[in-house]
Amino acid sequence: MKPLLSAKKFSKNYGDLKVIDSISLDVASQEIVAIVGPSGAGKTTLLHLLGTLDKPNTNPKSSLTLDGVNITQLSDKAIAQFRNQKMGFIFQFSLFLLYMFSPKYLSAATS
pTM: 0.75
pLDDT at 78 over 60: yes
The per-residue pLDDT for 96 is 56
The per-residue pLDDT for 1 is 75
Integer Cα distance of 22 and 10 in angstroms: 5
The per-residue pLDDT for 25 is 94
Residue, of 4 and 105, whose pLDDT is higher: 4
Taking only the tens place, the pLDDT of each residue in 4-17 is 999 999 899 999 99
The per-residue pLDDT for 58 is 83
Residue 100 — very low, low, confident or very high, per pLDDT cuts 50/70/90?
Answer: low
Three-state DSSP state, 12: strand
Average pLDDT over the chain, rounded to an integer: 84
Q: What amino acid is encoded at 85 in this protein?
A: Q
Where helices occur in the chain by DSSP H, the ranges are 43-50, 76-86, 95-100, 103-110
Integer Cα distance of 87 and 81 in angstroms: 10
pLDDT at 108 over 80: no
